[in-house]
Structures are given as C-alpha cells and as structure tokens.
Structure 1
Amino acid sequence: MREYWRWGVFILLVSCVYMVKIESFKFPILHHQQTERISGSAGDVLDDDPVGRLKVFVYELPSKYNKKILQKDPRCLNHMFAAEIFMHRFLLSSAVRTLNPEEADWFYTPVYTTCDLTPNGLPLPFKSPRMMRSAIQLIASNWPYWNRTEGADHFFIVPHDFAACFHYLEEKAIERGILPLLRRATLVQTFGQRNHVCLKDNSIIVPPYAPPQKMKSHIIPPDTPRSIFVYFRGLFYDVGNDPEGGYYARGARASVWENFKDNPLFDISTEHPTTYYEDMQRAIFCLCPLGWAPWSPRLVEAVIFGCIPVIIADDIVLPFADAIPWEDIGVFVAEKDVPKLDTILTSIPIEVILRKQRLLANPSMKQAMLFPTPAQPGDAFHQILNGLARKLPHDRNIFLKPGEKVLNWTAGPLADLKPW
C-alpha cells in the first residue's frame, strides 16, 4: 500500500504538461522538464546526415514484384511491415539515388514480400522466398552487379517476424534459416535477437512501421496527466497457434496476466480500445513484451508518446541501437523476472523516471522511429542510410574472381525453389 501511495503522489506531480512540436506532430512532456539531448556518440549518430556519403542504385523491376502487389491489397500500406514499401518510395526521390550503377555504393532491389495478406490482414510469408529468389535471378541475369559480389554490396528490406527466414513461427523460421541467396547481402530487418540463426551480423535493425498520420490524429490535450502507472493492450495467450499457452512469448505474457491482472497499478487487458494511443499518453510505463518475435510496434508507439518502454525480451537487438540510447530511455526486465515487475518498477527512483521522460521528449529521437511522408531530416529513412554509409567503403574482398561462386543457388527447402 505504501508503494501505491508513493506513485499516486508522483502521478499528481506530473499532472501539468506542455507541448513540444516535432515537424507536424505534437507530443506531451512534463511541464517542469526540458528535453535532454542524447550525449556522446549516440547523439552524434542520431544527428548524422547521410546525403553525400553514399550513392544507391535502385533496380527497376517489373511491377509484379512491387506495385501490382500493392494495388491488389492496399492494406499493406498500414501494417507493421510497410517499411519495405515506404523505403522504396523514399529512395526513388532521395538525394542519395544514382541512375548510374557504375558509381553506386549500394544496390537496392524493391520487392514487397510481406504484401501477401490473409482476409484478416495478416501477412503470410510463405511465398516470400520464391518471390525473392525470382527477383535475384532477374537482377543477376539482366545486370552485372550482383554477380560481381553475389550480393555483398546489395541490401534488401525484409521486415518479417523473423526477417529473411520468412516464417512467423520461430521453430519453422529456425528450421528454414536465412534464404541462402541473401547470405552475403545486407539485410534491413525489424527482427533482432542475439545468437539467433535469423539475424545476420551485418544487419541493420529498424523499427516496425507505425502510421504517422494515424498517431497524429490521436494526440490528446496538453494538460492531460499521466495517471496510469503501467499500461498494456494485447494478447496474453495465442490460443489459436499455442493452445497450451507455454510457447507464445515464451510464457512472459501469460506471466504478466496471471501475476498482475488484479493489481491496481497495472492497466492491462486483451481489449484494444479506440483510445489506445490516448491511453499510452496517459501512462508512465508501457509494457513491450515479446510475442512470437521479440519486437513489436509498441516500441515505436511508446517512444512517440513518451511512455517509458518496459522491454521484456531476452537478448533483443533494438532498432538503431548506435543512435537510440535504449538503456537510458527504457527499462529492461528479464523474462524470468516478470513476476517481480511491480517491485522492479516501483523501486525506480523518481529522478530516474524524470530523466527518461526528458530523453523521450527529444524530438530527434522520436523522428528516428518514424517513416513519414514526406521524409523528414533524421527520420528512420535517414537512419537506415546512415547505417549503410557507416559500412563504407566496402572491403575489396567482397569482389569475386572471374568464375568464382560462393552462394548455393539450389540450397533450401524444395518448395522455395519452385518458380514464382
């Protein structure tokens, strides 16, 4: 009871807020706080401008690989894997694009491999390997650049649950492994987990797509207090895919529910209200537990709305980790420690909470988590380009000798080898 009283006083303390503007967005921060610049190398990386540091050649593929797929199902523009679509659009008009492949540092193949949706709008990546193989065969046959390096100077956007393993169930993704033809390329992916077969060492980990305009439309009045201590909306059990309830989220979400469903400090439910974004702006802590994969759009939403992310996903590799100081803005809780969540969160000193909120109010950090239209300086598009620029110059060893081959074109499940 003492901890409930303590946090009730703190919630009253932060009831006065004012607004900070980020381009066309407004986000609440505490009245007596200023935003705090990210210090050291992370802040420098966050503010980097990639223009002039690299050139990207965009392959012109037949529209069946991208635009026609989107025309068939425009819902792809709004799901959490939409970065592959918006990155393509961004690069077509970007200052880093070159029409001369001979001067390119990087080559980009625009393939919308997550746009095969079920009637419920869920992406099914079962056709993705065949589609990606087909696109690579096309560029290898029509341009000389893939064959010089077998993709070592190419990058691909693969924003699936388990990236280029192309499956939403982890055991199936591990069994399949990364598509063999992508094993020399740089992958731009949402999935990141240390020591996992679906994460390449040189991958660039990016945030999932969260619709900027939708979030903008849910901004609440500036004088609204953060009256919720801990907030979460989502599944605790995935009964359809995990009837026994022990495999989904490695049991972490089930543990949240079983331990805190009746705790007055925890506002948690399976319901997803229309006030979801507004509620996040009223909360101090937002739970970001793993699901089938370790990441979710909640990471983006929490940063955008100034709600301290409580990251429950062992060994997660977070987006733009060299630019976003996740240790400073978030709280990390081991999956085994979920039953102690209330003690962990109520034990954090108030001055530490206030500093995390100051950092979360930093406009450049919020911008780095978004894929806005039109693009803005320092946004997620630019952070991806910064990641590619930091990999330059390429090691000369990536170029193969005449006739040399490294990749096995016939490796992988037989179903993946069928024509697309």
Structure 2
Amino acid sequence: MLKTFKIFIYTPSKPFHFSNPSASLFYNSLLRSPFLTHTPPEAHLFFVPFSPDTSTRSLARLIRQLRNNHPYWNRTLGADHFFLSPAGIDYSSDRNVLELKKNSLQISVFPVTSGYFIPHKDITLPSFNPSPLPLSLNPVQNSTKASLLGYLRWDGKTEPNLVNEFKGDADFLVEEKSEPLNYVRSLKESKFCLFLYHGDVAWMVEAMARGCVPVVIVDRPVQDFPFMDILRWSDMALLVAVRHGGAERLKQLLNGVSEELYMEMREAGMAGSKHLVWNEEPQPLDAFHMVMYQLWLRRHAIRYARREFV
C-alpha cells in the first residue's frame, strides 16, 4: 500500500481550511503525503475537496462540474471518489449530491449524527485532543489502586439529569473544567472513563492510552467508531444503555465486570490507542495511516453503468 496506493485530488475552486483539528490534520497530511499523484490514470481513488461550509446547492454544482469537465466521475458515478466532511452530509433530492452521499466514501469525525453515516463504506476520524503531558511520561496505574469507579469530563450540556446522578454518587467523579495535571490524575485514579455519545469524546484516545477503559453511554448500536474495519472496539470499550436505572444501574454493570475481563480490555485499549493518535508529521501505524489503509481496502469500487444526466 505505501508504495502503490495513489490518490488524485481535484483542484478546489478557492482556498479553504478545516476548523476541526482531526479533519485539518488529515487534510494537511494528505496534501503532503506520497500517496498523491498528478496523473489521474494512475489513481485508485479521487479526492473531492470542498469547504465544510459548502451549501447543498454549491455542492451539487461542484459535482455537476466534475461530471461535465472530467471523465472519472461518470465511470463509477462517484464510487471511486471520497470527500472529507467533519459533520457528514445528509441525503438530498438533488441527484448530484445524492450520488456523492450514496456512492462516494465519506470521511467524517466521530461521532456522526444518526443518518449521516453509511457503515459499509464511510469512515470516521478519531477526535484530536492535545495531551497535557506526553503519554510516555505518564505510566498507567494498576487497576487495584484506582480509587474511582468512573470518571466523566462533562461538556456542561449533554444528559444533565444523568450527570447530576453521577455527581451525587461517591463512586463517580464529574469534572466540567480541570487543570491538565488534575485531569491526568483523575484518569489515573479511575477504572472506567465515561463518555456520553454526542458529548465530549475528544479525550477518549488519551483515556485509553492511560489505561482507563472507555464506557460509552448510548441507547442504540454504535456503527461509526473510528477504524471499525481494523480495531475490535468490543474488546476495548463497553457500550451501555442506562436510560432506565441511571447511575445506580451503571454502577451495577461496571462492578459486574470481572477483573480478568477488565485487564484484557485495559490492555487492548492501550494497544489500540496507538493507532488513534494524530501527529503533525504522520508516523507509521498512526491515525493518518489507518485512514489511508481503510481507503486502500475500499479502492475496488463497484463500477456502475454510465448514465447521462441533464
């Protein structure tokens, strides 16, 4: 893959940037990567760059221009193309945007709004959270020394009723804002780190790297974890629904995890976190290369019959 995989990038109509850190790191790394080719016939995939603020009408016009000005879109109706949209795009009545949504590979940032992600083809990026201290300087602590059952960094708005239950239970620690050193200490002192789906998940990778097993509180199956083709999230994280029972129900579930299973998940999370880390300069097996590997796995696009559109 490293030597043969090639991507052609269409020239954007005007300069733009991504405010989302993960999207920005991926986009800038791609622009500097050896995977690029300026010869379209050599390309396995084609990247369609556009601003995250692009309207549906402008996006439809962009795809129409690709269809009319280049031969590559019509060969597969966009199935060998991919695009980067941090929040994902919704379905549209415009057939140009609909082809982009249904056929092209979407790269977005975890978690994605329900309905904006198609599991069999789309990819999510792990969130980027600048670590307050180098991970290598913070050895993880043995679970037998953990003084807290669960730790939650709260965004101040997601699931306030449930969070209030956590605040009233001595086995859980909830912090809205904390100094970096306090934050690191809280991770080390906790067996489990709690994440509210669609809440603040930017610190999940750091929690895993420091030996805190993630617990994702969600009331439906999660199909948009980063790199699900590569990482077995069921071995690294717990998915729990606590709509009925609240904090007490969650405590029962966590206390029911055997020490053997806990240590296995902890070790798997620490190992898996290495593939979820972003670097300014991509390193082997880091998040950027995991995205490229997932694109590589999807390079054999289905060739749809060509159709002409008015």
TM-score category, normalised to shorter length: 0.7 to 0.9
Q: Any conservation in 2 of the 1:329–1:360 contact (CA below 8 Å)? A: yes
Match of 1:29 in 2: none
Gaps of at least 5 residues in structure 1 are 1-49, 71-75, 114-124, 166-172, 239-248, 410-420
Alpha-carbon distance, 1:138 to partner: 4.4
Paired residue for 1:390, among 297, 304, 307?
297
Alpha-carbon distance, 1:356 to partner: 1.6
Q: Any conservation in 2 of the 1:57–1:104 contact (CA below 8 Å)? A: yes
Deviations 1:268-290 (A, max 9, x none): 13334443344324322110112
2:8 equivalent to 1:57: yes
Gaps of at least 5 residues in structure 2 are none
Distance (Å, rounded) in 2 between the aligned partners of 1:154 and 1:56? 9
Deviations 1:171-217 (A, max 9, x none): xx9999x95352221111235679x43222433332333145x4545
Match of 2:26 in 1: 87
Q: Which has the higher contact order (CA 8 A, sep 6+)?
A: 1
Match of 2:172 in 1: 266
1:98-113 paired onto structure 2 within 5 Å: 98-113=37-52
TM-score w.r.t. structure 1 length? 0.62
2:180 equivalent to 1:229: no
Q: For residues 201 and 220 of structure 1, do their structure 2 counterparts lie closer, same or farther at Cα, with a shift above 3 Å needed?
A: closer
Q: Any conservation in 1 of the 2:110–2:127 contact (CA below 8 Å)? A: no
Match of 1:348 in 2: 257
1:263-302 paired onto structure 2 within 5 Å: 263-274=169-180, 275-291=182-198, 296-302=201-207
Deviations 1:126-181 (A, max 9, x none): x5535544543443444332233332211011221xx113xxxxxxx9999x9535
Distance (Å, rounded) in 2 between the aligned partners of 1:383 and 1:209? 14
1:338-417 paired onto structure 2 within 5 Å: 338-339=246-247, 340-362=249-271, 365-396=272-303, 398-401=304-307, 404-405=308-309
2:155 equivalent to 1:155: no
2:57 equivalent to 1:139: no
Distance (Å, rounded) in 1 between the aligned partners of 2:137 and 2:301? 47
Deviations 1:199-240 (A, max 9, x none): 22433332333145x45457765486644321112135x3xx
Q: Any conservation in 1 of the 2:207–2:213 contact (CA below 8 Å)? A: yes
1:310-325 paired onto structure 2 within 5 Å: 310-313=215-218, 314-317=220-223, 318-325=225-232
Q: For residues 283 and 112 of structure 1, do their structure 2 counterparts lie closer, same or farther at Cα, with a shift above 3 Å needed?
A: farther
TM-score w.r.t. structure 2 length? 0.82
Q: Any conservation in 2 of the 1:207–1:297 contact (CA below 8 Å)? A: no
Match of 2:120 in 1: 202
2:29 equivalent to 1:96: no
2:221 equivalent to 1:303: no
One-letter amino acid of the counterpart of residue 151, structure 1 = G
Alpha-carbon distance, 1:324 to partner: 1.5
Q: For residues 96 and 235 of structure 1, do their structure 2 counterparts lie closer, same or farther at Cα, with a shift above 3 Å needed?
A: closer
RMSD (Å), alpha carbons:
3.2
Distance (Å, rounded) in 1 between the aligned partners of 2:30 and 2:112? 27
Deviations 1:70-113 (A, max 9, x none): 6xxxxx2xxxx333322222222323222210121100122231
Residue identity over aligned pairs, in percent, reads 24
Aligned length: 300
1:62-81 paired onto structure 2 within 5 Å: 62-64=13-15, 66=16, 69=17, 76=19, 81=20
Q: For residues 220 and 391 of structure 1, do their structure 2 counterparts lie closer, same or farther at Cα, with a shift above 3 Å needed?
A: closer
3-state SS of the aligned residue for 1:378? coil
